[in-house]
A and B are shown apart, each in its own frame.
Chain A
Amino acid sequence: MAGDDDRNDPNRKGLVLTEEQLRRRKARNVAIAVALAVLVALFYLVTVFKMGGNVANRQL
């Protein structure tokens, strides 16, 4: 695609992010990754603790 081909072209027109914008975007991405990891951990913990001892009581 044309958009991908000229990604490293210094004469490329359109948005070119500044260092500060790149830094903040990276920080946002890291925060989203952390939030997703926390969500995974929360769902895991809630599942385990909601089941609790009931796992042993299930009908076999």
Chain B
Amino acid sequence: MSMIEENRVEAVAALPGPSLAGVEDYLALLKPRVMSLVVVTALTGLVAAPAGLHPVLGAVALLCIAVGAGASGALNMWWDADIDAVMARTAGRPVPAGRIAPGEALAFGMTLSVGSVLMLGLTANWLAAGLLAFTIFFYVVIYTMWLKRSTPQNIVIGGLAGAMPPMVAWAAATGTVGLESAVLVAIIFMWTPPHFWALCLIKSDDYARAGVPMLTVVAGPNETRRQILLYAIALAPLGVAPAFIGLGGALYLAVSVVVGIEFVRRAIVVYRVREGAEARKAAGKLFGFSLIHLFALFFVLLVEKAVGLPPLTAPIAGWM
């Protein structure tokens, strides 16, 4: 064998190996379940906004926001592959499982990030594009790279990234950000900690093993239960707020009151039941209901706008 052939064989042997990634692995990088939540909240922002984009442009804007959120997820999985590998819930993700190389996930995430921001700028406006870029930056750099491994307040502050889609969509439709979109952001922002901590109560060992300082690991489950309850109590009136700023109607008011009370009731159960399988079950039920809670609020707003139900008169409309 000539020296050139030997070198070639060695070089080929040193390659990472042929990719086994399927299309479904790249879709998994986009965190489709998180994307579905983003689509619902962003669509609500788009539809509830007073000025509207052409439906086709609105659909493209929505796609850009969803892809931007997915890109954040891919970059998150690229950076967090080491801790994902030691957590049972995330060990099967494409990067820690070895189906997608970290560099591929990085390139995929960066391409989609830049593409979605530019496309949103060209389709809607550059304020919306800037907000989407900020959202991706906040999720990847501020939350994933910095806060997640350094403070138990990681998901409290980092939750802002997940809360932004309605404001991005609102900006896409109107070219500005109003009080209404800020209230929608505030609802998701306040909803995120109890939602995530309910999951942490069940998966606390996972986070401890990975060395992620979640509140359950650092302050313990009982302090987490107390914080969940406090956030649930703060979230209930915030969830009703859209009905008082000219955004939600009578149906929204009724639904937001019911789901808000139910959220607090389930948080009280989590706070009281602290031992054994019942405690895990209560946390699991709160986690499941939190998803229903957020979907219900935004879906009802969406339905009201879609069928033309009028919003309640805004007592503070004169302020805006």
A residues lining the B interface (CB < 8 Å): 13-15, 17, 20-21, 24-25, 27-28, 30-31, 42, 45-46, 49-50, 52
Known: A21-B18, A28-B21. 13 other contacts (CB 8 A): A13-B5, A14-B8, A20-B20, A21-B19, A24-B20, A24-B21, A24-B22, A27-B23, A28-B26, A30-B23, A42-B119, A45-B60, A50-B57
Mark out the residues of chain B between 17 and 65 whose CB falls within 8 Å of any chain A CB in the assembled complex. 18-23, 26, 54, 56-57, 60, 63
B57's partner among A13, A21, A27, A46 (CB-CB below 8 A) is A46
Q: Are B54 and A15 in contact (CB under 8 A)?
A: no
Interface size of B in residues (CB-CB distance below 8 Å): 20
B residues lining the A interface (CB < 8 Å): 5, 8-9, 12, 15, 18-23, 26, 54, 56-57, 60, 63, 119, 122-123
Q: Are A28 and B23 in contact (CB under 8 A)?
A: yes
The secondary-structure label for the interface of chain A is helix
Residues of A within 8 A of B22 (CB): 24, 27-28
A7 to chain B, nearest CB (A): 14
Residues of B within 8 A of A17 (CB): 18
Q: Are B19 and A25 in contact (CB under 8 A)?
A: yes
Q: Are B19 and A46 in contact (CB under 8 A)?
A: no
A5 to chain B, nearest CB (A): 13
Q: Are B26 and A50 in contact (CB under 8 A)?
A: no
Write 19 A-B pairs (CB below 8 A) sorted by A numbering.
Answer: A13-B9, A14-B12, A15-B18, A21-B19, A24-B21, A24-B22, A25-B19, A27-B22, A28-B21, A28-B23, A30-B23, A45-B60, A46-B56, A46-B60, A46-B119, A46-B123, A49-B54, A49-B56, A49-B57
Q: In the complex the two chains form, what is the Cα distance from A17 to B12 in whole Å?
A: 13
Q: In the complex the two chains form, what is the Cα distance from A21 to B8 in whole Å?
A: 22
Q: In the complex the two chains form, what is the Cα distance from A10 to B15 in whole Å?
A: 21
Q: Are A42 and B60 in contact (CB under 8 A)?
A: yes
Residues of A within 8 A of B12 (CB): 13-15
The residue of chain A having its C-beta at the shortest distance from the C-beta of B64 within the complex is A42
Q: In the complex the two chains form, what is the Cα distance from A25 to B57 in whole Å?
A: 33
Q: In the complex the two chains form, what is the Cα distance from A49 to B55 in whole Å?
A: 10
Q: Are A24 and B19 in contact (CB under 8 A)?
A: yes
B71 to chain A, nearest CB (A): 13
The residue of chain B having its C-beta at the shortest distance from the C-beta of A29 within the complex is B23
B26's partner among A15, A31, A42 (CB-CB below 8 A) is A31
Residues of B within 8 A of A20 (CB): 20
Residues of A within 8 A of B18 (CB): 15, 17, 21, 25
Q: Are B56 and A45 in contact (CB under 8 A)?
A: yes
The residue of chain A having its C-beta at the shortest distance from the C-beta of B18 within the complex is A21
The residue of chain A having its C-beta at the shortest distance from the C-beta of B5 within the complex is A13
Q: In the complex the two chains form, what is the Cα distance from A45 to B21 in whole Å?
A: 32
A22 to chain B, nearest CB (A): 9
Q: In the complex the two chains form, what is the Cα distance from A13 to B9 in whole Å?
A: 7
Q: Are B9 and A21 in contact (CB under 8 A)?
A: no
Residues of A within 8 A of B15 (CB): 15
Residues of A within 8 A of B9 (CB): 13-14
